[in-house]
Structure formats: C-alpha cells, structure tokens
Amino acid sequence: MQTIFLNQAKQAGFSTEVQTFENREKTKGRNIIVKIPGESKQNVILLGAHYDSVKMGPGINDNASGVALLLDLMTQLSTKKIQPKNTIYLAFWDSEEVGIAGSQAYVEKLTAEQLKSIKAYINLDMIGTKEPEILIADGDKSSVDEMEKMLKERGMQEQDYKPLLDGLRSLPSHAGDLALEKTLKEFFKAKNLKIKEDVSTLTASDTAPFLGKVPVTAVILFNEQMKGDELEFAPCYHKACDTIEQVDPKSMQLAGDAVTHLLTVLDKQ
C-alpha cells in the first residue's frame, strides 16, 4: 500500500515525506505525506485518511474509501496541471486503529511555525457508506446542548451523563473550526441532504491530535445501526464483511464533491 502512494506521487511529480514511528503495540508505523505545491508556500491545507484496518476485516469502507479519494485528488491535481493557491498536503496515516498513533506522531513533531501554516485539516473516513447520514464536525459544540436535552427527555439522571458532556465541552477547539463547519453545512444543505452535527466523533479518528491546534473538519458518512447490543457506525463496521460491496459510488462522489467545495472556498480566502 505504501509503495502505491509513493509511486503515484513520483509519477505525478510531487515530493513526499515518509515518517516512521512506533505505536502502542510496539510495531513500526509509516505515515506518507504527499506535498503538492501551491502559489503560497506558507499556507497549507492538510487532508488525511488512515490506510490501516482492524485485523478482523479488510477495511474497504473503513478506510480504503478515504484513501481512494486522496489518490483521486492527487491524480486530478496532476493531470489538470492546475496549481492551487494553497499548498496541499495529502497524508496517508498509519495506525489509526491502534490509538490514532500515526496522526499523533505527525502532530507531535510539528514546530509552532509549521502548525501555524496549516490553515485547515480535513479528515476523510468511511466515505463510501450506503444510504449515509452526513456527519458534520461540530465547531461550536452546539450538539452537546442537544445531547443534554435528549438525555433529560429520556429521564436520565444528571450525574449519569454530566461527566461525559463536560468532557465534550472541554475538548480543545480552534477559532477557525466554525467557518469550516459552516462551509460544509451550506454545501450539504444546498443538496437537500440531512445532516447531523457531532463533536464526539472528533476524538475517535485522526482529527483528535489536531484539535485546538489548527482549524479542523471532517467528511464522514455514517449509517448507524444496532446489531444486538452493539452500535455499528456503518454496515459491517470493523467486520470481515467490510468489503467493496459495502461501498456506494454515489457516496464516494458526494464526499469528493464536498472536498472540492472546501478546497475551492479555502483557495478564495
């Protein structure tokens, strides 16, 4: 898989950075960063998708779907010979399924100047889900108030949910988060699609290490289902049946259009 990323970047004429690290299982991981120069070398838009999967499944929706979009974006930027205003980094993260180790290792090595240059981090995860619910990263944490209202209506005692909600409200945030949230909401609403604002998911994927450090958003397509006592984020989530049959090309196209819209808006700022 890593060879595919490096070879495609080489053929496209883009430079790469390979970062090695050790995850909590004491195995070596490798992040691959593809660098696409823009008119501005100081402003970087970072897009990321993890390429590892859980041991019990092939991980086609989670998250070969996100990886495929990054590879397609690399191809588009190469073949169309269009130089973006902002420099674009495409990050292929390793070890997301092992404590979000890859993106964490990357962030830990960034200098203050490098962090400041990142104008947005856009995370791509599970974007091929069939009949999806559009999950929007909640920049202002308004969804926590909605969650509290729902739990009260269900008769839960405050002491049972207050620690969870307090934890969500205390998550680090960046002043630029809300603008990214607004851009994605406007895009999906213009297509008459139902969206769900969520903040808890930000802690469970490669957005987590970036919270509060750079503006963060994510394109995640869910279809939550109860399987016995377990809540699946999407059909066949973390299971052997997470195969190509679980991926909807229309969902992939929607996610790609959303990313293109984000990049277009960010290039105009």
Instruction: Answer yes or no: are the C-beta atoms of 77 and 31 closer than 8 Å.
Output: no
1-268 CATH choice from 3.40.630.10, 3.40.50.12780, 3.40.710.10, 3.40.50.720: 3.40.630.10
Rounded to 5 degrees, what angle do the CA atoms 17, 11, 266 make? 60
Long-range CB contact pairs, 55-59, < 8 A, 24+: 56/238, 56/239, 56/240, 57/236, 57/238, 57/239, 57/240, 57/241, 57/242, 58/240, 58/242, 58/243, 59/242
In Å, how far are 26, 124, 267 from 77, measured between CA atoms?
Answer: 36, 18, 14
pTM above 0.85, yes or no: yes
How does 204-230 read in b/e, with b if 16+ C-beta sit within 10 Å? Answer: ebbbbbbbebbbbbbbbbbbeeeeeee
Average pLDDT, the chain: 93
Rounded to 5 degrees, what angle do the CA atoms 37, 42, 43 make? 75
pLDDT digits (tens, 9 = 90+) for 160-193: 889 999 999 999 999 999 999 999 999 999 999 9
Rounded to 5 degrees, what angle do the CA atoms 43, 3, 105 make? 50
Instruction: Answer yes or no: are the C-beta atoms of 139 and 212 closer than 8 Å.
Output: no
139 pLDDT more than 90: no
The pLDDT assigned to 235 comes to 86
Span 214-230, mean pLDDT? Answer: 83
Span 226-236, mean pLDDT? Answer: 75
Those residues whose C-beta lies under 8 Å from the C-beta of residue 164, and which sit 6 or more positions away, are: none
DSSP secondary structure string for all residues of 190-240: HTT--EEEESGGGGSSTTGGGTTTS-EEEEEEE--EEETTEEESSTTTTST
Instruction: Answer yes or no: are the C-beta atoms of 89 and 42 closer than 8 Å.
Output: no
- Catalytic positions are 96
The pLDDT assigned to 233 comes to 79
Residue 229 pLDDT class (50, 70, 90 cuts): low
Domain boundaries, the chain: 1-268
1 pLDDT more than 90: no
205: left (phi over 0), alpha (psi -120 to 50) or beta: beta
The pLDDT assigned to 226 comes to 65
The pLDDT assigned to 108 comes to 97
pLDDT digits (tens, 9 = 90+) for 60-104: 999 999 999 999 999 999 988 778 999 999 999 999 999 999 999
3-state secondary structure of 37: coil
**Comparison of pLDDT for 46 and 220, the residue scoring more:** 46
